[in-house]
């Protein structure tokens, strides 16, 4: 079999595969996962909740702000497209009446207002939320 005949055979088999739904499921499935991985990495490096971090750390009660994972979609006063789950902790003072050394929270990007919104899970620190009346 010559090289030209082999290429014609490969072309015929690819044309027959394109007619099956399995081929398209495999192609678009792989494209979806690659896009999701790249988009998640891009969002994590470009959209960082600096406004929330600065406001929380400015109080001098908490010393560390660590992002745990990306939340797509993010649920905080409705559904937002994108956000983070974070923990904050104090190396100097342990927050009173809390069983853990850290407190969890959520920061979500509000596209309509163009700003970060966040909420801390501990009710004692609800004054540090972007909206102090909000409960997580």
Peptide bond into 73 cis (omega under 30): yes
Token reading at 99: 């069983």
Tens digit of pLDDT for each residue in 48-95? Answer: 777 777 777 777 677 788 888 877 788 887 777 788 888 887 655 555
Residue 135: the pLDDT is 57
Tens digit of pLDDT for each residue in 98-113? Answer: 556 778 888 888 888 8
Residue 39: the pLDDT is 81
Q: Which helix (H) or strand (E) holds 15?
A: helix 3-17
What span, in angstroms and rounded, lies between the C-alpha atoms of 37 and 88?
26
* Distance spanning both ends of the chain, measured CA to CA: 69
Higher per-residue pLDDT: 9 or 95: 9
Work out the mean pLDDT of the chain and round it to a whole number: 78
Share of the chain above pLDDT 90, in %: 5
Token reading at 119: 């909420």
Residue 31: the pLDDT is 93
Sole residue written with tokens 């015929």: 12
> What band does 34 get if pLDDT is binned at 50, 70 and 90?
very high
Are the C-beta atoms of residues 118 and 52 closer than 8 Å to each other? yes
């Amino acid at each position: 079999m010559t090289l030209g005949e082999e290429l014609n055979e490969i072309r015929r088999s690819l044309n027959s595969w394109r007619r099956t739904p399995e081929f398209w499921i495999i192609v678009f499935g792989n494209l979806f996962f690659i896009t999701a991985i790249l988009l998640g990495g891009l969002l994590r490096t470009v959209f960082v909740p600096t406004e929330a971090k600065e406001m929380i750390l400015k109080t001098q009660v908490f010393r560390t702000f660590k992002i745990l994972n990306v939340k797509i979609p993010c649920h905080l006063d409705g559904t937002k497209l994108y956000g983070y789950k974070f923990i904050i902790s104090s190396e100097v003072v342990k927050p009173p009446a809390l069983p853990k050394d850290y407190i969890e929270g959520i920061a979500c990007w509000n596209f309509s207002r163009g700003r970060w919104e966040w909420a801390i899970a501990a009710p004692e620190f609800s004054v540090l939320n972007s909206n102090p009346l909000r409960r997580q």
